[in-house]
Amino acid sequence: MRLVFLGPPGGGKGTQAEILAEKRQLPAISTGQILREAAQSEILGPVVRRTIDEGNLVPDNLMIRIVEDRLRRPDCRRGFILDGFPRTVAQADELGRLLDRMGLKLDGVILLKVEEEQLVKRLAERRVCSRCGATYHLTSRPPERPGLCDRCGGALKQRDDDREEVVRERFRTYREKTLPLVDYYAARGLLHPIDGDQPIDQVARAIEEALAHLDGPSQAPDGHQGPSPREAAAGQG
Ligand code: AMP
């Protein structure tokens, strides 16, 4: 299964992508996490860090190279969940071309819908593991031991770009650059809008329900599959 998770910053993409990835044994690929790691490097680091800290987007050509490199790794053969990519129409076009070259198709796009004020509140309480990147929330998803990651024991910290003024800038960027992807994927019959303003397990259930029609015998382990009935009906197979 090949999926994209779309939605505003702090809308729960990362959390839900991780939950689904674990259930389906698929890699969840967070471009934000890849970039935060790249921000530590000497060459790309300063530019990437500044872009993230200002709430802007990293240039499309760099992003598509990063994603192509990642999708060609063997663990993506059975499928993948993209969290935070594409974020612009140019990235979506490039992703479509890349998948065409690989003989693959996207199965669906999950859109998590959450209002801006709710996001600012959520991100103020978000914490991430400084070692493995796992995400927590002080109220809705607290770690078992305060300040420490359940998965690897790393120290939890607040992301610099989760400060309110940066969050508002990220939301502006989302509205301007990423929101057009809602129509883009709806027009291709791939969009599944989900109310993201619910408890985590209810959102996870809604996602499973939206994806139920994709579970079928058509997923071959070599990554090639015929068109789903929906794609065939829409003439997209
Ligand atoms: P995220 O963890 O998905 O909220 O991403 C954190 C930051 O990384 C974003 O605010 C952007 O600056 C950058 N970023 C992540 N994914 C992309 C992308 N697909 N295109 C451009 N910039 C991105």
Which residue would you say has higher pLDDT here, 187 or 213?
Answer: 187
Per-residue pLDDT at 215 exceeds 50: yes
Atom of ligand 1 nearest to the CA of 67: 19
Among 32-36, 207-211, 232-236, the range scoring the smallest mean pLDDT is: 232-236
Indicate if 126 belongs to the active site: yes
Can you give the pTM of this predicted structure? 0.83
User: Residue 217: which pLDDT band, with cuts at 50, 70 and 90?
Assistant: low
How far, in Å, from the CA of 52 to the mean position of ligand 1?
Answer: 7
pLDDT digits (tens, 9 = 90+) for 106-149: 999 999 999 988 888 888 899 999 999 898 999 888 999 999 99
Atom of ligand 1 nearest to the CA of 55: 10
Answer CATH for 2-113+176-214 from 3.30.465.10, 3.40.50.300, 3.30.1490.190, 3.40.50.2000: 3.40.50.300
State if residue 170 touches ligand 1 by the CB under 6 angstroms criterion: yes
Enumerate the H helices of the chain as residue ranges.
13-24, 31-38, 45-53, 60-71, 89-102, 116-124, 164-173, 180-187, 200-211, 229-233
Backbone dihedral angles phi then psi of residue 10, each to the nearest 5 degrees: 80, 10
State if residue 52 touches ligand 1 by the CB under 6 angstroms criterion: yes
Name the residue ranges covered by the structural domains of the chain: 2-113+176-214
Q: What is the mean pLDDT of the chain?
A: 89
pLDDT digits (tens, 9 = 90+) for 64-101: 999 999 999 999 999 999 999 999 999 999 999 999 99
